[in-house]
């Protein structure tokens, strides 16, 4: 009754090997998925394609962000994701001080354009200058703000 059957020993060894293999595979899986650049791009495009001034925010689960006038890239320890923007003329406003005109930061924070810029041409020039800057990786904020502003005939979509 207490004898060990030879088949049982092989069965236990097989189960032990499968358990070790399963644990090894589970240990190599990433802890979370790569960031959702597609969702961020959809939010940016929805604000930029609108007819009227609007503001939106999108939460980020990323460590770093790279904004260009035509794409958004997010990176964390589990990977990097990039998505193309379909809306034209996005103006990146990175959180790093000194890389972009500070007046654009004020606009992104909700200050009306006529309180920040002397005329629509000044807004258009500042936005064009920001789009022409080198678009490097920056530390990602917890929330990305997207704001479409209008000053006279000038429409600008700020992202930062």
Per-residue pLDDT tens digits for 88-117? 889 999 876 556 688 999 999 999 999 999
Answering whether pTM is above 0.75, one says: yes
Q: State how far the alpha carbon of 81 is from the alpha carbons of 12, 35, 38, in Å.
A: 43, 6, 8
Is residue 24 scored above 90 in pLDDT?
Answer: no
- Tell me: the pLDDT tens digits for 44-69? 999 999 889 999 999 998 999 999 99
Terminal alpha carbon distance of the chain: 74
- Tell me: the pLDDT tens digits for 118-137? 999 999 999 999 999 888 99
Cα dihedral 90→92→93→97 (10° resolution): -160
For residues 156 and 151, give the distance between their C-alpha atoms in angstroms, rounded to a whole number. Answer: 9
For residues 80 and 82, give the distance between their C-alpha atoms in angstroms, rounded to a whole number. Answer: 7
The residue among 94, 98, 104, 100 whose CA lies nearest residue 139 is: 94
- Tell me: the pLDDT tens digits for 68-81? 999 999 999 888 99
Q: Among all chains, which residue has been given the structure tokens 């006529």?
A: 114
């Amino acid at each position: 009754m207490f004898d060990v059957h030879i088949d049982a020993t092989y069965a236990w060894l097989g189960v032990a090997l499968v358990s070790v293999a399963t644990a090894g595979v589970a240990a190599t899986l990433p802890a979370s998925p790569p960031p959702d650049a597609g969702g961020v791009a959809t939010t940016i495009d929805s604000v930029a394609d609108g007819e009227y001034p609007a503001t939106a925010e999108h939460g980020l689960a990323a460590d770093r962000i790279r904004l260009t006038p035509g794409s958004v890239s997010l990176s964390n320890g589990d990977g990097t994701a990039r998505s193309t923007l379909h809306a034209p003329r996005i103006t990146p406003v990175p959180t790093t001080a000194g890389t972009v005109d500070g007046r654009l930061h004020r606009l992104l924070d909700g200050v009306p354009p006529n309180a920040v810029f002397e005329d629509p041409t000044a807004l258009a020039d500042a936005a064009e200058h920001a789009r022409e800057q080198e678009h490097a990786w920056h530390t990602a904020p917890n929330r990305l703000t997207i704001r479409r502003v209008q000053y006279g005939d000038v429409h600008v979509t700020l992202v930062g």
